[in-house]
Amino acid sequence: MSTSSYMPLTDGGKADLLDHLTTALLPYTTLLSIALEDVASLTADALSFRYALQSASDMQAYGQNWTAFKNHQRDGSGTEASWPVPPALVLPMPAAVKPGVIPRLSSLAAQIKASKNYTTAIGKDLWLIGSEVVIDPVSWKPIISVQFQAGHPIIQWTKSQASAIEIWVDRNDTNGFVLLTINTEPNTNDTFALPEAGTSQLWHYKAIYIRHDVQVGQWSDVVSVTVGG
């Protein structure tokens, strides 16, 4: 079974991983041949990045307060007003580190995993192994939308973990839904002849994912668009 990346997607998650490693890595430094200088660098990175993250959040909130104050000054009512109070920086400030906190973290993680003494249990303890990815094609359901280019519909969709997508179209011509195409890469252009000039038609699209050459999951919701000549 495959696993997702250990690296969190959010800055908050990355800061949590840094904080965790500063303490969780200490018992393994000798076993994994991690230099104390690398641990010190990791700790400095964790402190600096956490401080930067919190300070950025405080400043963003301060900016939002100014926007609210400006809007109230412009359109509000009342007889009293006071300027927004700027946030106070938390002291003491940690030392600012050189750029590249996450690349350094990734490099250290690679060094840890390359150790001859590294095990899956250690990886889990250090949060360096992502969660297991469960592939359940039964629940897959495409989400499609339509944009236009030169009058022709372009069906927008994402591939996810499927091999391809099967798209069907109903052009209100008494034939019902018929196969439009099977595509392996987004997105899909419908190059069918447009209605005559000055007229329009309502076309409907639906799709289902393909895996190992077999339909899987559920049909998408039907998307209807007006196509003009």
What's the pLDDT band for 190 if we cut at 50, 70, 90? very high
**The domain boundary residue, chosen from 81, 97, 125:** 125
The predicted-structure confidence for 140-149, as pLDDT tens digits, reads as follows 999 999 999 9
Please write down the HEC assignment for all residues of 81-93: CCCCCCCCCCCCC
131 inside domain: no
* Residue 3 pLDDT: 66
Structural tokens at position 87: 């946030």
174 inside domain: yes
Backbone region of residue 160 per phi and psi (left: phi > 0; alpha: psi in -120 to 50; beta: other values): left
Let me know: does 1 contact 134? Beta carbons within 8 Å.
Answer: yes
- State whether 48 and 121 are in the same domain: yes
Let me know: does 136 contact 152? Beta carbons within 8 Å.
Answer: no
- State whether 49 and 80 are in the same domain: yes
- Averaged pLDDT, 73-93: 88
Overall number of domains in the chain: 2
Is the model's pLDDT at 2 over the cut of 70?
Answer: no
The three-state secondary structure class of 160 is coil
99 inside domain: yes
The predicted-structure confidence for 194-227, as pLDDT tens digits, reads as follows 999 889 999 999 999 999 999 999 999 999 999 9
For residue 141, the domain's CATH number is 2.60.40.10
- State whether 109 and 179 are in the same domain: no
| Percent of the chain whose pLDDT exceeds 90 | 82
- State whether 34 and 72 are in the same domain: yes
* Residue 133 pLDDT: 65
225 CB burial (10 A radius; 0-12, 13-18, 19+): middle
- State whether 101 and 39 are in the same domain: yes
- Averaged pLDDT, 79-101: 91
- Averaged pLDDT, 33-38: 96
The predicted-structure confidence for 94-136, as pLDDT tens digits, reads as follows 999 999 999 999 999 999 999 999 999 999 999 999 887 677 8
- State whether 148 and 183 are in the same domain: yes
* Residue 77 pLDDT: 87
- State whether 198 and 168 are in the same domain: yes
Structural tokens at position 152: 């022709």
The boundaries of the domain holding residue 80 are: 11-125
* Residue 89 pLDDT: 86
